[in-house]
Structure 1
Amino acid sequence: MGGADTGQGPGAPADYILETRGLTREFGGFMAVRDVDLRVRRHTIHALIGPNGAGKTTVFNLLTKFLTPSGGTISYNGRDVTTVGPAAMARLGMVRSFQISSVFANLTVIENVRVALQQKLGTSLHFWRPKRSLYSLHARADELIEWVGLETYRDVLAGDLSYGRRRALEFATTLALEPELLLLDEPMAGLGHEDIARIADLIRRVSQGRTVLMVEHNLDVVSNLSDRITVLTRGSILAEGGYAEVSQNPAVREAYIGGAHA
C-alpha cells in the first residue's frame, strides 16, 4: 500500500484523487458537516472514522451525491464535481459499493455479475437481445467470480449464499463497473470473524491499482488496512494520520471515551 509516485513531489495536486474544500451540510439549522477539507491520496486505503454522530455517513452521502452540499466544493481527479450527479460520478469511475451494486437474490452468481457487466457496456436495458448474445460476457464474469473466491458458487442463486459470500458477490459486481475510486460504507457490518478476514483480504486486493475510501466501525480492520485515517467528530475533522498517530492523539482518545467505536 502507500501513495503512488507521480513524480510531482509529495502533496502535489495530482497525488490526490479526491479533495473537498470547506464541505458543509446543514439540516434545518443543525450543522451536520462543517468545513471539512478532506484529501484522499491516489492508490491508498483511506479510512473515515469517528464516534457515533460524528458526521461520517453525511460526508459519504455528500461525496457520492446522495446529498447536496450546503457549502464547499468536491474535486475528483482535479475536476470540480460538486454539482455532478451520482450516475455521472459512477461513469467517471467513483463507485459506492454495497449501495450501487447490482445483486439480485433470484439470479445466480454468474447472472448477477453479467448484469453488472451489461451496465458498464450500456446494454443493461437490452432485454430483447437473444440470450446467446450475452455469452461473450461470461469469460469476464467468470474471471471476476474467481477473483472474489466464488467459483464454486457460480450457478447458485444469490439469495442462497451466506451473508459474507453475498458481500463477496457485491465486490464482484462493483468491480465489473471498473471503479478507479471505491467508496465502502461499513463493509464489515454484520459479518462474522471468518467473513471479516475474507472481506479484508478482498479490500487489500481491490486496492492494488485503485483507491479505497471507507467508513468502518471495526477499528482492528482500520488499523490493519488503512494507509491514512481521518477522524471526524461533531461534523469536523479532529485528526488525520496513520493509525499509530491518531490512536495516540489525546483529543481522539477523549472523543471516543464513553462512546462506541465508529
Structure 2
Amino acid sequence: MSADYVLETRNLVKEFKGFTAVDDVNLKVERGTIHALIGPNGAGKTTVFNLLTKFLTPTTGTILFNGKDITSMKSAAIARKGIVRSFQISAVFPHLTLLENVRIALQRNEGNSFHFWKSEKVLDKLNDRALELLDEVGLKDYANAITVDLPYGSKRALEIATTLALDPEMLLLDEPTQGMGHEDVSVVADLIKKVSANRTILMVEHNLHVVAQLADKITVLQRGAILTEGDYATVSQDPQVREAYMGVEADDEVANAIAAESAAASAAEKEAVK
C-alpha cells in the first residue's frame, strides 16, 4: 500500500540571479508524521520553507498539497488551505496579553477581518477556545500576562498556540528551538511532540538531539539539493552527511558533532532573499 503524502514537491528549483538556492528538490512528507529538514549552512532549508508557503515563487517545479497543485497560490491562500508556518524569530505581539495574542489568531477563523474597532465584549466568545489553546501549550496560567515579559521559550510556545488557532492540517516550524537554553529546548521539543497528534509537521531544526527525539523521517539538504533521506540512525551514520557537516572524512564521533550546526539562517540564503 502506497504512502499517503500530504505535501510533495516535484523538481523544485529556486534561482537568484544565477545562484541556485534550491536545486531539483523532490520532497515527500507523509501524513501524520514529523519530518525534519536539516543541512549545513547555506543548504537551502529556509528557502524551501519560503517556497512551500509562497513567500517566494519557484523558478520551476511543482508543489502539491493533498494531491492538489498549489504552486501558483499566494501565501494567504496557502494558509487557508491548512499549511501554517512559524518563523525563526518569534512572531507575537509583545505588548498584548497571551490571551489577546491567541484571540487575534482565532479571529481569522471567524471569516471576517480583524475586529479591532469593535467592543472587546464582542470577542469574549473566543476566550474559551483561546484558553484551551494556551492550556495545550502549558501557558494557561499566564493568560493575562503581557507577552514581552515572557521568557523566550514561552514566547515560542505562545507562537505555536497562535499557529494552532488557525486549525492547520500541517505545521511548518522554522528553527523552533533556536536561541534557547537546554531547559527551554526540552520544553519546546515535548510541546512539538504533543501538538503533532492528528497533524503533520515539517520542521527545519539545527539541534540534532531534537531531530533524533522527534523526527520520523529526515531529509538532508546540501547546496540546495537533497543529499539523502531516512530515519535518524541511517542519516547520522551516512558518510556523505558527515562530510557535508564537517567538511572532512569523519569518524564515529561525527553524529554528535553534527548538532553544532549554526542556529542562524545562512548568510547566503538571507542575501538571496533580499
**How far apart, CA to CA, are the structure 2 residues paired with 1:196 and 1:101?**
14
Q: Confirm whether residue 40 of structure 1 aligns to residue 29 of structure 2.
A: yes
Counterpart among 116, 119, 130 of residue 130 in structure 1: 119
For 1:236, the aligned partner's letter is A
CA contact (8 A) 1:101 1:174 kept: no
Counterpart among 126, 135, 154 of residue 165 in structure 1: 154
| Aligned residue number for residue 207 of structure 1 | 196
**How far apart, CA to CA, are the structure 1 residues paired with 2:239 and 2:195?**
33
Q: Confirm whether residue 148 of structure 1 aligns to residue 137 of structure 2.
A: yes
**How far apart, CA to CA, are the structure 1 residues paired with 2:115 and 2:232?**
47
| Aligned residue number for residue 245 of structure 1 | 234
CA contact (8 A) 2:87 2:175 kept: no
**What does residue range 71-90 of structure 1 map to in structure 2 within 5 Å?**
71-90=60-79
CA contact (8 A) 1:98 1:170 kept: no
Q: Confirm whether residue 188 of structure 1 aligns to residue 186 of structure 2.
A: no
| Aligned residue number for residue 261 of structure 2 | 261
CA contact (8 A) 1:109 1:153 kept: yes
**How far apart, CA to CA, are the structure 2 residues paired with 1:101 and 1:50?**
22
1:87 offset after TM fit, Å?
Answer: 0.4
1:127 offset after TM fit, Å?
Answer: 2.7
**What does residue range 95-134 of structure 1 map to in structure 2 within 5 Å?**
95-98=84-87, 103-134=92-123
Per-residue CA distance 1:55-93 (angstroms, 9 max, x = gap): 111111111111111111000010000011110000000
1:176 offset after TM fit, Å?
Answer: 0.3
For 1:184, the aligned partner's letter is L
Provide the TM-score with structure 1 as the length reference: 0.92
1:101 offset after TM fit, Å?
Answer: 7.9
SS of equivalent residue, structure 2 residue 14: strand
CA contact (8 A) 2:10 2:24 kept: yes
**How far apart, CA to CA, are the structure 1 residues paired with 2:206 and 2:43?**
12
**How far apart, CA to CA, are the structure 2 residues paired with 1:166 and 1:182?**
17
1:124 offset after TM fit, Å?
Answer: 4.1
**How far apart, CA to CA, are the structure 2 residues paired with 1:188 and 1:200?**
8
CA contact (8 A) 1:101 1:173 kept: no
**How far apart, CA to CA, are the structure 1 residues paired with 2:233 and 2:47?**
26
Q: Give unpaired runs (5+ residues) of structure 1.
A: 1-8
| Aligned residue number for residue 53 of structure 1 | 42
SS of equivalent residue, structure 1 residue 22: strand
**How far apart, CA to CA, are the structure 1 residues paired with 2:108 and 2:88?**
15
| Aligned residue number for residue 218 of structure 2 | 229
| Aligned residue number for residue 10 of structure 2 | 21
Provide the TM-score with structure 2 as the length reference: 0.88
Q: Give unpaired runs (5+ residues) of structure 2.
A: 248-257, 263-274
- Taking only the aligned residue pairs, the percentage that are identical comes to 63
For 2:231, the aligned partner's letter is G
For 1:60, the aligned partner's letter is F
SS of equivalent residue, structure 1 residue 173: helix
CA contact (8 A) 2:90 2:156 kept: no
SS of equivalent residue, structure 1 residue 237: strand
1:94 offset after TM fit, Å?
Answer: 0.1
SS of equivalent residue, structure 1 residue 20: strand
**How far apart, CA to CA, are the structure 1 residues paired with 2:245 and 2:92?**
35
**How far apart, CA to CA, are the structure 2 residues paired with 1:234 and 1:98?**
21
